[in-house]
């Protein structure tokens, strides 16, 4: 039996709290609408038995406007109710302009006119009415709408989202996540050592293999050198994780997994192509270390199958690839029921890290630490950090969670001026 580490509390006790009520005033007491047909519960879209649909605000409002502000790499969403209340969310990074178009083409006509209080119904309708256009872009667009509605709740209730979900505003420990496969082993050690000493971060992830490369490597023996050099230098002072980004067949994954274990690395992420779930399960069963993954997985029924067959020791759903907070919450509860921790995926400093912070402080089964990119000013991080404020800051190895209502940040009006604008509204 592998070790299970949650930040706060045991899964079983917290799961009861999560199912029975979160913030007691945010949940209704009846069964979820449409969830029971005939003799057996119809546990659609990732509901577990006993799940109660959210009821965070009073019913009676209507969503009458959805706006997007997009560049190629980032898009923000603003949802407005007929009361004039608004909320801000974000579509996942990269090709966000395409996802914004999908939002207006495929989702807006479903969501406009609905009651924002019915968020479970809204996300289910968006998925089910798009059954011919499954997953990726529909879910990315839905993530923008769902996160904007959660912010709307926060503005109406004047509470941060994590409190609406039953959590509390306290800092979350992070692991420093390297995205680089061009960095040399000694350079990676120097960078992580400096960040450890300057920022107090005590866990780091480095990259091995090469992304979806059929057992490839960035250069000959880089993976062996990374494992021995980073593991040898840092495993005594830090927790270490490695990410293979869908690289290996099971035999190679188990080979490198044993090497990682030998050098004190504790967690092995995405060892095999993520679509090869039998391969991943074989690796998880063979290794003593924790195997994690799932950032690309956006079909919630597939999540149920992977969770119940113990494909991973730790699940890492991405809130914005999966379709927002509501669907990530359901996925975390499914894992909680069988004692598997959840660390939502947050690979850049956009609002996805903020969403993950709130989730980590509310789900009953958070893992030990949140992913935080250590390419602080490079690539996408430079761009997303100009989008909202105040910036996420590390203090003593932890990320502070904003205590203001909703997501607790303000959108930068100058960034909005540079973005392409589209709006859908009730006519
Ligand atoms: Mg990863």
**Strand 86-91 vs strand 75-81: parallel, antiparallel, or unpaired?**
antiparallel
**194-235 tens-digit pLDDT:** 999 999 999 999 999 999 999 999 999 999 999 999 999 999
**402-419 tens-digit pLDDT:** 999 999 999 999 999 999
CA 211 to ligand 1 center in whole angstroms? 10
- Supply 405's token pair: 């209502």
Q: Is the pLDDT of residue 251 over 70?
A: yes
Higher pLDDT, 40 or 117: 117
**135-153 tens-digit pLDDT:** 999 999 999 999 999 999 9
CA 262 to ligand 1 center in whole angstroms? 22
Domain boundaries, the chain: 163-410
CA 138 to ligand 1 center in whole angstroms? 22
pLDDT at residue 8, as a whole number: 39
pLDDT at residue 202, as a whole number: 97
Pick the CATH number of 163-410 from 3.20.20.120, 3.40.50.1000, 3.30.70.120, 3.30.300.20: 3.20.20.120
Residue pair 139/126 in contact by the 8 Å Cβ criterion: no
DSSP letter for each residue of 107-122? IHHHHTTS-TT-HHHH
Q: Average of pLDDT values for 29-58?
A: 75
CA 294 to ligand 1 center in whole angstroms? 8
pLDDT at residue 407, as a whole number: 98
Under DSSP, the state recorded for 103 is: I
Give residue 20's pLDDT band: very low, low, confident or very high (50, 70, 90): very low
**Strand 36-37 vs strand 40-41: parallel, antiparallel, or unpaired?**
antiparallel
pLDDT at residue 13, as a whole number: 46
Q: Is the pLDDT of residue 379 over 90?
A: no
pLDDT at residue 29, as a whole number: 37
Q: Is the pLDDT of residue 30 over 80?
A: no
Residue 319 exposed, middle or buried by CB count within 10 Å (0-12, 13-18, 19+)? buried
Those residues whose C-beta lies under 8 Å from the C-beta of residue 367, and which sit 6 or more positions away, are: 5, 6, 7, 314, 341, 342, 343, 360
Residue 225 exposed, middle or buried by CB count within 10 Å (0-12, 13-18, 19+)? middle
Among the ranges given (16-20, 50-54, 58-62, 288-292), the one the predictor scored with the smallest mean pLDDT: 16-20
CA 298 to ligand 1 center in whole angstroms? 15
Residue pair 299/321 in contact by the 8 Å Cβ criterion: no
- The H-assigned helical ranges of 341-412 are 351-360, 379-385
Q: Is the pLDDT of residue 302 over 60?
A: yes
Spell out a b/e string for 9-45, using b for 16 or more CB atoms within 10 Å of the CB, else e.
eebeebbeebbeebbeebbeeeebeebeeeeebebbb
Rounded Cα–Cα distance for residues 412 and 427 (Å): 29
Rounded Cα–Cα distance for residues 52 and 47 (Å): 9
Give residue 363's pLDDT band: very low, low, confident or very high (50, 70, 90): very high
pLDDT at residue 42, as a whole number: 76
Among the ranges given (8-17, 35-44, 94-103, 311-320), the one the predictor scored with the smallest mean pLDDT: 8-17
**Residue with structure tokens 């679509």?**
275
CA 293 to ligand 1 center in whole angstroms? 7
Question: Nearest-CA neighbor of 147 among 109, 103, 105, 97?
Answer: 103
């Amino acid at each position: 039996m592998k070790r299970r580490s949650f930040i706060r509390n045991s899964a079983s006790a917290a799961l009861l709290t999560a199912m029975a009520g979160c913030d007691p005033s945010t949940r209704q007491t009846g069964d979820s609408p449409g969830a029971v047909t005939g003799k057996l519960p119809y546990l659609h879209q990732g509901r577990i038995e006993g799940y109660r649909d959210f009821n965070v605000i009073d019913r009676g409002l209507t969503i009458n406007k959805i706006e997007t502000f997009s560049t190629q790499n980032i898009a923000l969403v603003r949802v407005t109710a007929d009361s004039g209340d608004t909320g801000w969310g974000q579509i996942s990074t990269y090709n966000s302009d395409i996802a914004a178009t999908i939002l207006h083409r495929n989702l807006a006509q479903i969501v406009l006119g609905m009651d924002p209080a019915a968020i479970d119904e809204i996300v289910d309708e968006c998925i089910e009415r798009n059954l011919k256009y499954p997953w990726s872009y529909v879910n990315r667009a839905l993530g923008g709408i769902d996160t904007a509605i959660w912010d709307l709740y926060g503005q109406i209730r004047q509470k941060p989202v994590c409190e609406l979900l039953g959590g509390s505003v306290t800092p979350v420990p992070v692991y420093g996540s390297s995205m680089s496969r061009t960095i040399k082993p000694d350079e990676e050690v120097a960078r992580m050592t400096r960040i450890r000493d300057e920022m107090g971060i005590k866990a780091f992830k480095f990259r091995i293999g090469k992304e979806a490369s059929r057992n490839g490597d960035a250069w000959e023996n880089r993976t062996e050198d990374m494992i021995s050099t980073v593991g040898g230098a840092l495993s005594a002072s830090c927790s270490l994780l490695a990410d293979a980004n869908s690289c290996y067949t099971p035999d190679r994954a188990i080979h490198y997994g044993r090497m990682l274990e030998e050098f004190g690395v504790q967690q092995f992420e995405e060892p095999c192509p993520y679509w090869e779930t039998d391969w991943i399960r074989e690796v998880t069963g063979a290794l003593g270390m924790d195997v994690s993954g799932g950032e690309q997985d956006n079909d919630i029924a597939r999540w149920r199958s992977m969770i119940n067959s113990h494909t991973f020791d730790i699940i890492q759903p991405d809130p914005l690839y999966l379709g927002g907070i509501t669907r990530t919450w359901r996925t975390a509860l499914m894992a909680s029921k069988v004692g598997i921790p959840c660390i939502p995926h947050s690979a850049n400093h956009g609002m996805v890290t903020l969403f993950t912070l709130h989730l980590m402080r509310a789900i009953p089964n958070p893992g030990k630490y949140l992913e935080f990119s250590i390419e602080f000013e490079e690539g996408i991080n430079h761009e997303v950090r100009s989008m909202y404020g105040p910036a996420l800051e590390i203090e003593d190895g932890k990320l502070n969670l904003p205590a203001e209502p909703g997501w607790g940040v303000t959108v930068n009006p100058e960034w909005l001026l540079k973005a392409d604008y589209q709006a859908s509204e009730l006519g």
